[in-house]
Structure 1
C-alpha cells in the first residue's frame, strides 16, 4: 500500500477522533500527528498530499479559538478499489494480487476486487502497438512446480511441458495409433527389439539450433544420468546408435511392443544437448518460455515452430494461491463472475470426466495399527465411494474401484455398512490410536473433513494434516493416511504403468519394499505383451493393490472449464486442459 493511501486509512480507522464521510470534523494538528504517526510539521505536508488526491478537504482554523476542520471525501472501499485499479493500470499484477490478500476482514470488497482481477484475465488484444499482440491470461491456485521433464509429477506441469516441448511421436487416443511429430517415420523389427526413428529436418529449438539425433540420444541418457523416477520403463534399451543427423536406432535386450508409448510421453520430450535444463527449459514446441518466476509464467508463440504457429501470441499464467478455485477459466474482459457460482455470462461450461480417480494410501513405511488388514478394510468402508459421491457431490461424479472409469462402471455398487466397519475395527485390537490424514488443503479439505466425521462414527480417531499441494508428495510422508488424486494421460496404458512404476509418486513412497517388489515382478513382462495382454496385466496389478487394501479407490472426478464464447479452436490436451496452441479469438 502506498504512503498516501496508508495515511488515509489511518484517518478512517482513528480511535482519537471519529470522522464521518462528507462531514467536517474539528481536529487539531497534535491529534492528527498522533493519528498519522508523524511530526506536526509533516502533518501539513501529508494533508496537502491527501487533498491533492481528492481524499480530504482541509480547512485550517484562523485565529485563536478557531478549530481546523477535516472532511473525509472518499469511503474506505473507494480508496482501496482506486489503489487496486491503479496497480492494475500500471501492470503491477503481483502487487495487485498481494493487495487483495490484505482484504481478509472485508469480504465484500475482496470479492469486488477479485471480480476486477478476473476481468484482467482472459483475452487481451494489444492493437495499440505495432505488433498487435493477442494475449491470454489465466490464473492458477498454486505455485508452479518443477518443469524438468525427467522429474515432472503434476498434471498441470506435464501439460505445460507439452506446450513448450515435443516428442518423437504423438499418441492419438481416438484411433489408438501413433502420429508423426519430431520423427516423420519409424519402424520396428519383426521381433520388436530394434526400433528406428527418422527425424524431421529443419526443426529448430527455441534457442535457434537445429534438432539432430544427438539431442534424442542426450535426452534418454539424461534420464539415466539424473536417475529419473521413470527410468524403469526404459530398462530394456541396451544401446543407442546415432545413424546420422536425422536417424537414430535403439537396440533392446528383449522384445518391447510398448516402445512407441515411451517416446510419446512427456518424460521423453526431446531436449537440446547444449542447454542445462535445470537453468533454462528449451524445447521445440509451439510456445517458448519468455519469463518465469514464482508468480508468473509467460509463454510466447515460437515463430519458427515446425508445425502450425499458435494463433495466440502470448499466454500468461499467474500463480495466485488461495484466490482461485480449481476450475479453469478461459475468459475475456467484461465477463461477469458471479459469487459462489459456476455460471459466467457469455461462457460455455466444458466438462472433462478425467481418467483416474481420487484415492487413499496407507504409509507402510511408518509403524501403526493400519498394518492390520482389518483396520484397512474398516477404513475402506469409511471411505465408501457410494457415500462419497452421494453426500459430497460436486465434481465427484461416480464411485471408483479402479483408476479407469469403464472398469468402475462394471462394478455392482452398494453403500458400505459403518456398523460392519465398527466391528472390524474392534476385532483388530484398535486401542483409540490417532491416525494422521494428509491431504491437499486447497483441493481435498471437504473430503478430509467428511472422512474424519465418518471415522468418528465407528470410533476411529483421525487427525487432519493439510498440506500445500505444491509440496506434495514429500511433505505428506509423516502421515499415516494420504488422500490424493491421480489423473491419467489419454494414453491410459502409459498412464497406468507410469503410476505403478514411477519412483517419486505417493504409491512408491508409501508402499512397503516387499510389496513394491511384488508389484514390479508382476509388471516385469509388460512391454513384451500385446495390447490385450497388457490391459489384462494392468487389471491384475490393480487387483493386487485392491485385494490387499494397499490402495483405496474413492471416486472419479470431473474437470470443468469455463470457455468464453468468443474463444474458438477448442481442443483438449492431456488431463482435460485446453490446447492453447489451437485457441483463437473471433473478432466481435
Structure 2
C-alpha cells in the first residue's frame, strides 16, 4: 500500500492530459516535493515502483535532457483493485481513506460502493487453504459507542452486547416469559427482598475461563457507579455463595428483579476485567456470549463464533458490520437478487415493495417503543407554562404526521407501547380550546429551540410548520450524532425509546443517568416518579404494576411534557434458503440462529437499499 498510494499521488500530479502510457516529463526534485520526501528517498520509491511494475523511469542523460516517467497502470482500474483488496481484507478504514484522497475525477467511488453493496448479506466465503465461512455482512449508519454494559444507552450497543455477553436470565419474546440463561434456576423470598440465582456449570468466557459467582458479584457491584446505577438502587449487597450461587439482598421489595437481571446493562463480565486497565479491556472485551469480538475500528466491527458457547454454537461463523462514512452510502442498483437485509436508522427495514420473486417470505414486527417530542423542563422558556405545552400537544396530532412520513412505515403513538396506542383514537380538533390555552399561556413569540439528530428531519420540519401556523416560532438544529451538550441546551427535542424488556426499560427511561427523558424532568417530578416506581416494584401482580406505571405515562402526556409521535413498523423479505431470522424488540435479527440452507442459496444476497 505504501508504493500504491505514492503511485496514485504521482499519477495525479504529473499525468495531466498526457495519453495513457505516454512518457511525462518530471524532475527528481519535483517528485520529491510531490511525495514530501528527500530526493534520495524519491529514488528509492521510484525503484520500488519499477519493481512492482507500476512505472517506467527514464532518467535524463546530459544537459538539457529532462527525466520522464511512464505510468503503466490507469488510475481508475488500479484504484478499484486497491479498494476491493482492502475491503476483502476487512480494512474498510483504509478503503474509505483511499476514496477520500484519490477518487476525485473518477467514478471509482460509485463503482466501489456498488461492488461493496454486492458483498452485503449472507454469503459463503473461502480463502485459499482455509475452510469456507458463513458470513453475515451489512452496513451501519453509525458505529458502536461502547462495549461497557455499565455505560449502555443505545439500541445498537445493546444488540451487540447481546452477542458478546450473557445475562443471568433472558426474556423470551416468543414465549413472553423469562427463561434461564447463565443461571439455570432462581428463587425469591415472599417479601421480594432476597433473590437467589444458581449458575450453570461449564459456562465459558471467550478466553476459556469458567463463569463463577465472583464474576457475577463483580459485574453487579460495578453497576453502582455510572448511568446504569438505577439497576442497583434497591440492592443492599451481592453475596457469592460458593462457586455457582449468587444471592442479592434488597433493602426494599422488588418483585421483578428477575427482569432487572435480563437488562443489557447487567451483561456478565469477568472479575476484575482480568486485571487489565479499563481502556485496554474494552479494546477486546471478554464475555460468555455466542460471539467474540475479532476486530473493531472506526469503520465497523467483526464478530466470530464462540464455539464452546453453552447455548449451542452459532450457525454463522462471522458477522461483519461496516460503518459507511457520510457520503459513502451505496448507490441505487438493481441486482438480480434483491437483498436479505435492509437497514435504516439502525433497524432492519424493507421498503414497502413487492417481494423480489415468488418463494420469498416476509416477516414483520412493530418496534416496541416510540419516537417522541420532549420538553426540557430544566430550562426557562414558554414551555414552563403547562397551558402552552398542552396547546403544542393539541397542535401536533400524531395521526397527521403519517401523511408527512410517506417513506416511513409508522403508526401513530399515544404512549410508549403500541398496545397502549391501539386503545386510543385521534382527538377531534378543538380550535377554541387551543386558542384558549395559548391565551392562558400568554405566549409572547419567544422562539422554541428544537435540537435533534438528522434522521428526524421530517418530524422536525412537520412540527415546525404546524406550530408556525399558530404563530409559534421554532428554531431547529440537526446534529449528525446525539450530543449531551446539544440536547441540554435545547428547549425541545425528538428521540426514540426502545422497550426491549417490558417494565424494566420503561423504568430505565426515567432513571438512567444519561437518558434524555430523566434529564429533562425537574427534581420534583423525578422524585414523584421514583416513588411511583418503588410502589410498582413492591406490587406482586403485573396488572397492578402496569396501572401504576400508566399513571406516570398519562401524567407526562396530559401536562404536555411528552408528545408521542409514532411507532415504527419493521419488516424484511427473506430468500427461501435463509432460516432462523426473527426481528427482536430492538429491531434487529438475533445473529446466533441465522443459517443458510446449502444448495438453495441465491448466488448473492445484497443490501441494495441503504437509506439515511
1:60–1:382 CA distance, 2 compared to 1 (3 A): farther
Q: How does 1:49-60 map onto structure 2 within 5 Å?
A: none
Among 318, 326, 336, the residue aligned to 2:322 = 318
Deviation at 1:106, TM superposition (A): 7.3
Residue ranges of structure 2 left out of the alignment (5+ in a row): 61-66, 345-349, 600-612
Q: How does 1:162-561 map onto structure 2 within 5 Å?
A: 162-224=162-224, 226=225, 228-275=226-273, 279-280=280-281, 281-322=285-326, 342=351, 350-414=363-427, 424-425=437-438, 428-441=441-454, 443-469=455-481, 471-489=482-500, 491-529=501-539, 530-561=541-572
Q: Kindly provide the CA deviation profile for residues 481-511 of structure 1, in whole angstroms up to 9, marking residues without a partner as x.
A: 111111110x322221222222220011111
Equivalent residue number for residue 606 of structure 2: none
Contact 1:488 1:496 in 2 (8 A): yes
1:43–1:296 CA distance, 2 compared to 1 (3 A): closer
1:102–1:232 CA distance, 2 compared to 1 (3 A): same
Contact 1:383 1:451 in 2 (8 A): yes
Equivalent residue number for residue 64 of structure 1: none
Distance 2:75 2:428 in 1: 53
SS in 2 for 1:309: coil
SS in 2 for 1:575: coil
Contact 2:509 2:518 in 1 (8 A): no
Q: Please, which moves more after superposition, 309-318 or 427-436? A: 427-436
Contact 2:446 2:473 in 1 (8 A): yes
Distance 2:244 2:40 in 1: 77
Q: Kindly provide the CA deviation profile for residues 378-414 of structure 1, in whole angstroms up to 9, marking residues without a partner as x.
A: 3324433112112213334211110111111111215
Contact 1:206 1:302 in 2 (8 A): yes
Q: Kindly provide the CA deviation profile for residues 178-215 of structure 1, in whole angstroms up to 9, marking residues without a partner as x.
A: 21111111222233332222111121112222111122
Deviation at 1:452, TM superposition (A): 2.6
The answer to whether 1:2 aligns with 2:1 is no
Deviation at 1:49, TM superposition (A): 10
1:306–1:50 CA distance, 2 compared to 1 (3 A): closer
Contact 1:295 1:318 in 2 (8 A): yes
1:229–1:28 CA distance, 2 compared to 1 (3 A): closer
Distance 1:219 1:10 in 2: 57
Distance 2:413 2:106 in 1: 37
Q: Please, which moves more after superposition, 256-265 or 118-127? A: 118-127
Q: Kindly provide the CA deviation profile for residues 344-371 of structure 1, in whole angstroms up to 9, marking residues without a partner as x.
A: 9677664331011110111122221221
Deviation at 1:436, TM superposition (A): 1.9
Contact 2:155 2:498 in 1 (8 A): yes
1:560–1:75 CA distance, 2 compared to 1 (3 A): farther
1:392–1:47 CA distance, 2 compared to 1 (3 A): same
Q: Please, which moves more after superposition, 565-574 or 76-85? A: 76-85
Deviation at 1:426, TM superposition (A): 5.9
Equivalent residue number for residue 96 of structure 1: 95
SS in 1 for 2:364: strand
Deviation at 1:563, TM superposition (A): 4.8
1:85–1:192 CA distance, 2 compared to 1 (3 A): closer
1:49–1:244 CA distance, 2 compared to 1 (3 A): closer
1:310–1:180 CA distance, 2 compared to 1 (3 A): same
Distance 1:11 1:422 in 2: 70
Distance 1:391 1:150 in 2: 38
Distance 2:184 2:26 in 1: 80
Distance 1:162 1:283 in 2: 10
SS in 2 for 1:267: helix
1:558–1:6 CA distance, 2 compared to 1 (3 A): farther
Contact 1:395 1:559 in 2 (8 A): no
Contact 2:340 2:572 in 1 (8 A): no
Distance 1:426 1:405 in 2: 34
1:37–1:536 CA distance, 2 compared to 1 (3 A): same
Q: How does 1:5-24 map onto structure 2 within 5 Å?
A: 5-10=8-13
1:427–1:215 CA distance, 2 compared to 1 (3 A): same
Contact 1:422 1:459 in 2 (8 A): no
Q: Please, which moves more after superposition, 263-272 or 553-562? A: 553-562
1:574–1:332 CA distance, 2 compared to 1 (3 A): farther
Contact 1:193 1:252 in 2 (8 A): yes
Contact 1:139 1:324 in 2 (8 A): no
Distance 2:211 2:34 in 1: 63
Distance 1:424 1:104 in 2: 57
Residue ranges of structure 1 left out of the alignment (5+ in a row): 62-67
1:357–1:8 CA distance, 2 compared to 1 (3 A): same
Contact 1:141 1:323 in 2 (8 A): no
1:4–1:351 CA distance, 2 compared to 1 (3 A): farther
Distance 1:537 1:324 in 2: 47
Q: How does 1:570-585 map onto structure 2 within 5 Å?
A: 570-585=581-596
Alignment RMSD: 4.3
TM-score (norm 2): 0.80
How many residues were matched structurally? 571
Distance 2:466 2:509 in 1: 29
Contact 2:363 2:582 in 1 (8 A): no
1:240–1:414 CA distance, 2 compared to 1 (3 A): closer
Contact 1:437 1:481 in 2 (8 A): yes
Q: Kindly provide the CA deviation profile for residues 510-542 of structure 1, in whole angstroms up to 9, marking residues without a partner as x.
A: 111112112212222111111110111111110
SS in 2 for 1:274: helix
Contact 1:8 1:50 in 2 (8 A): no
